[in-house]
Amino acid sequence: MSKLRVAVVGVGSLGQHHARIAAGSEATELVAVVDPAEARGLEIAGKFGTAWAASLDEVLGRVDAVQIAAPTGCHHALGLQVLAAGKHVIMEKPLAATQEEGRALLAALDRARAEVPGLVAAVGHLERFNPAVTALRAMGIKPHFAEAIRVSPFPMRSMEVDVIMDVMIHDLDLLLALIGRPVLSVEAVGVPVLTKYADLVNARIKFEGGAFATVTASRVARKKERVLRAFGANCYASLDFAAQKLEVLRLTVGPDGPAVSQEVVEIVEGEPLKLELEAFYQACLGRGEDIVTWHDAFAAMEVAHLVQVSVAESLASLEIRA
Ligand SMILES: NC(=O)c1ccc[n+]([C@@H]2O[C@H](COP(=O)([O-])OP(=O)(O)OC[C@H]3O[C@@H](n4cnc5c(N)ncnc54)[C@H](O)[C@@H]3O)[C@@H](O)[C@H]2O)c1
Tens of pLDDT, residue by residue over 240-293, are: 999 999 999 999 888 889 899 999 999 999 999 999 999 999 999 999 889 999
Distance from the CA of 260 to the center of ligand 1, in angstroms?
45
Q: Please state the rounded mean pLDDT for residues 217-236.
A: 95
Q: Which residues contact 177 (CB under 8 A, 6 or more apart)?
A: 128, 137, 296
CA distance to 4, 31, 118, 264, per residue, from 67 (Å): 12, 12, 17, 35
In this predicted structure, the answer to whether residue 33 has a pLDDT above a threshold of 80 is: yes
pLDDT at 161: 87
Q: How far apart are CA 41 and CA 162, in angstroms?
A: 27
Q: Please state the rounded mean pLDDT for residues 228-248.
A: 96
In this predicted structure, the answer to whether residue 158 has a pLDDT above a threshold of 80 is: no
Nearest protein Cα to ligand 1, atom 3: 126
Q: Of 195, 179, 212, 176, which is closest to residue 304 (Cα–Cα)?
A: 176
Helices (H), the chain: 15-24, 38-47, 57-60, 75-84, 99-115, 131-138, 163, 169-179, 272-284, 294-316
- Residue 319 pLDDT level (bands cut at 50, 70, 90): confident
Testing ligand 1's pocket by substitution, the residue of 8, 9, 11, 14 carrying the most ligand atoms inside 8 A of its CB is 14
Testing ligand 1's pocket by substitution, the residue of 93, 123, 130 carrying the most ligand atoms inside 8 A of its CB is 93
Nearest protein Cα to ligand 1, atom 15: 13
Q: How far apart are CA 284 and CA 2, in angstroms?
A: 12
- CA 164 from chain centre, in angstroms, equals 12
Q: How far apart are CA 271 and CA 276, in angstroms?
A: 9
pLDDT at 77: 98
pLDDT at 106: 98
Q: Which of 9-13, 301-305, 314-318 shows the lowest mean pLDDT across its residues?
A: 314-318
- Compute and round to an integer the Cα radius of gyration of the chain: 21
Distance from the CA of 158 to the center of ligand 1, in angstroms?
8
Which CATH class for the 127-271+303-316 domain? alpha beta
Residues of the chain with CATH 3.30.360.10: 127-271+303-316
In this predicted structure, the answer to whether residue 167 has a pLDDT above a threshold of 90 is: yes
Q: Give the CATH fold of the 4-125+273-291 domain.
A: Rossmann fold (3.40.50)
Q: How far apart are CA 206 and CA 275, in angstroms?
A: 31
Residues of the chain with CATH 3.40.50.720: 4-125+273-291
pLDDT at 22: 98
pLDDT at 320: 63
In this predicted structure, the answer to whether residue 322 has a pLDDT above a threshold of 70 is: no
Q: Which residues contact 279 (CB under 8 A, 6 or more apart)?
A: 129, 288, 290, 291
Ligand 1 atom with minimal separation from the 15 CA: 16
Mapped onto helix, strand or coil, the DSSP state of residue 167 is helix
In this predicted structure, the answer to whether residue 1 has a pLDDT above a threshold of 60 is: no
- Residue 103 pLDDT level (bands cut at 50, 70, 90): very high
Ligand 1 neighbours by CB, cut-off 6 Å: 9-15, 34-37, 40, 69-72, 74, 92-93, 124, 126, 157-158, 166
Q: Please state the rounded mean pLDDT for residues 143-163.
A: 90
- Residue 155 pLDDT level (bands cut at 50, 70, 90): confident
In this predicted structure, the answer to whether residue 162 has a pLDDT above a threshold of 80 is: yes
Distance from the CA of 74 to the center of ligand 1, in angstroms?
9
CA angle centred on 107, ends 277 and 55, rounded to 5°: 55
Q: Could you tell me if 109 and 119 are in contact, meaning their C-beta atoms sit under 8 angstroms apart?
A: yes
In this predicted structure, the answer to whether residue 172 has a pLDDT above a threshold of 60 is: yes
Supply the mean pLDDT for the chain. Answer: 95
Q: How far apart are CA 108 and CA 84, in angstroms?
A: 8
Q: How far apart are CA 226 and CA 241, in angstroms?
A: 6
- Residue 25 pLDDT level (bands cut at 50, 70, 90): very high
